Amino acid sequence: MKQTTTINLVFIFFGALILLFIIAPLLGMFLKTTPETLFETAREAEVRNSIWLTIWTSLAGTLFFAIAAIPLSYLLARYEFRGKKLVTGIIDLPVVIPHSAAGIAILGFVSRDSAIGQIGSALGINFVGNPAGISIAMAFVSIPFLINAARDGFSSVPVRLEKAALTLGASPTRVFFTISLPLAWRNILSGLILMFARGMSEFGAVIVVAYHPMITPVLIYERFGAFGLKYARPVSVLFILISLSVFILLRWLGREKK
């Protein structure tokens, strides 16, 4: 018992160090930002427009790509096939590659001389320097969070329930929408929230595709480079507060009702 208590104390000590490592920089930034400075920053049209752009482009990218990501997650959860490990590895690629490199890859994918860029041009859309390009860059680096969470959700759904419904005459489509999807919804919602939040925080990939219009991470970078820490800090604090508020709201809306 003494050995267990000792090792638990050691674990608690290291855990406290990690929590301090996470909290201390954020707390220091908040303490050095006065409420007056924060309200003054919030009144700037450039800051408000940037935060709104960040929120809606990330949300748009999340919802658009979720249409294909959720069915893919179901296939990965339910079926074994040759090359499945390769597919799962490809899905995780955006998490491990440098995001500046991801931005370069996306830029080549959506530039005017690419197939996607030509289709966009025919529709009057230039993805480079456009909110549409920002949404694509955000979705590229964040979509693994949705796919992996949704796959875990579908994997947790008992196969016997789906088979029973099929035996009773339900179509595969009806089984998916009335059994699989509702039972996996908690994980899917968590994946959607994580994808949305990760997209909002993206910088490296977005700045390559669209420096303007500026999302908030890019605006923070520009203010730091042009004016220094004093002018970048209030925008950072304001964006963190709004991001946390949106994140908490989404979690609250998706809470399990008792």
- Minimal CA–CA distance to 146: which of 107, 187, 102? 187
Contact 233, 32 (CB under 8 A): yes
pLDDT at 3: 54
> What distances in angstroms separate CA 207 from CA 11, 99, 101, 222, 258, one per listed residue?
40, 10, 11, 11, 44
Could you report the per-residue pLDDT of 168-184, keeping only the tens digit for each? Answer: 999 999 999 999 999 99
Cβ pair 139, 65 in contact under 8 A: yes
Count of other CB atoms within 10 angstroms of residue 223: 22
* Every domain of the chain and the residues it spans: 38-253
Q: Tell how far CA 128 is from the center of its chain.
A: 21
**Tokens 């929590």 map to which residue?**
19
CA 19 – CA 178 distance, rounded (Å): 41
Render each residue's pLDDT in the chain as its tens digit; 258 residues.
455 688 888 999 999 999 999 999 999 999 999 999 999 999 999 999 999 999 999 999 999 999 999 999 999 999 999 999 999 999 999 999 999 999 999 999 998 888 888 888 888 888 999 999 999 999 999 999 999 999 999 999 999 999 999 999 999 999 999 999 999 999 999 999 999 999 999 999 999 999 999 999 999 999 999 999 999 999 999 999 998 888 888 878 767 654
What does the alpha-carbon distance between residue 86 and residue 231 come to, in Å, rounded to a whole number? 45
| Amino acid found at 160 | R
The structure tokens listed for 227 are: 């004016």
Q: Which fold has domain 38-253?
A: MetI-like fold (1.10.3720)
Quote the CA–CA distance of 28 and 20 in Å, as a whole number.
Answer: 11
* Rounded Cα distance, 68 and 151, in Å: 13
> What pLDDT sits at residue 4?
60
Q: Residue 30: enclosing H or E segment and its boundaries?
A: helix 2-31
